[in-house]
Amino acid sequence: MDTILYSQLDAVAVISMNRPDSLNGFTSELCDDLLLAFEKAQRDQSVRCVVLTGEGRAFSAGADLKQGFEGDRTTQGKLLFEYGPVLAAIANIPKPVIAAVPGFAAGIGLSFAMYCDLLVMAEDSFLLSPFTTISLVPDGGANWLLVRQLGYHRAYQLSIESERIPAERCVELGIANKLAPADELRDVTINWAKDLSKRAPLSLAATKKVMRHAMDHDFHSCYAMEAEIQNQLRESDDAAEGVAAFFEKRAPEFTGK
């Protein structure tokens, strides 16, 4: 994977976009490598949490416009068959994915950061939807993500004014979960991921599945899904271990079974 650095620290896989000279601008190759990296993290049973970040001064500046018009695919094709599968991989991997944003995340980079399950931003970083400055529409699901998080009026304003959203404001708006000093961003994020990886993996996966379903389905279908999954989890070895550890006043040892 030429455009990706992949490493593992304890139960945490760290996937880092490695095109710093282009501010981690997205290309077809980067999308392919990201997809392979998430597939690797999903297959590896020793991985219980994933951190997605970028090398250098930015998480991602968005699509690499120098290479964005090369190849046989249309822009629609790139969104559907290059970006779309990676976003689906983030949503469908049964493990928490935490974005760590250094510098800034703009354009499709903003979409990738927001589409992760959790988001940590460097204190001096920002998010940006710059599309009106180049006569395009927010993409990569940014319209859906921003409207659901901020409401229509605020989302529309931020997008058409191409307003930078500082990290502190992102936390206030509920877009980001945590801030970290710029020089400690990766350590803070990985340590959080390590803490989460000690939680019951079946529970982490099931909660992610139900809450992603809840984002665009009605109450009753969500309630039914909860009941079905809860019934399955209640019969798991990990549930028995969790209850036993609670009464024995010790830390549980979850196996994912």
Same domain for 109 and 153, yes or no, is: yes
pLDDT in the model for residue 195: 96
Contact 65, 111 (CB under 8 A): no
**Entry pTM:** 0.94
pLDDT at 73: 82
Give me the pLDDT at residue 75, please.
86
Q: What is the CATH number of the domain that holds 241?
A: 1.10.12
Q: Is the pLDDT of residue 201 over 90?
A: yes
What does pLDDT average to over the chain? 94
Give residue 212's domain range. Answer: 201-248
pLDDT in tens, 86-128: 999 999 999 999 999 999 999 999 999 999 999 999 999 999 9
Q: Which of 44, 48, 61 is nearest to 113 (CA)?
A: 61
60 neighbors 23 (Cβ within 8 angstroms) = yes
Mean pLDDT within 35-61: 97
Q: Which of 10-19, 68-77, 153-162 has the lowest mean pLDDT?
A: 68-77
Same domain, residue pair 223 and 125 = no
pLDDT of residue 13: 98
pLDDT exceeds cutoff 60 at 16: yes
Residue 46 pLDDT exceeds 90: yes
Same-domain check for residues 237 and 140: no
Do residues 32 and 118 share a domain?
A: yes
High-pLDDT (> 70) share of the chain, %: 98
Say whether both 83 and 168 belong to one domain.
yes
Average pLDDT value for residue range 200-226: 95
**Domain count along the chain:** 2
Are 168 and 55 in the same domain?
Answer: yes
The string of DSSP codes covering 3-67 is TEEEEEETTEEEEEE--GGGTT-B-HHHHHHHHHHHHHHHH-TT--EEEEEESTT-SB-SB-TTT
Same domain, 61 and 169: yes
Please indicate, yes or no, whether residues 15 and 120 belong to a single structural domain of this protein. Answer: yes
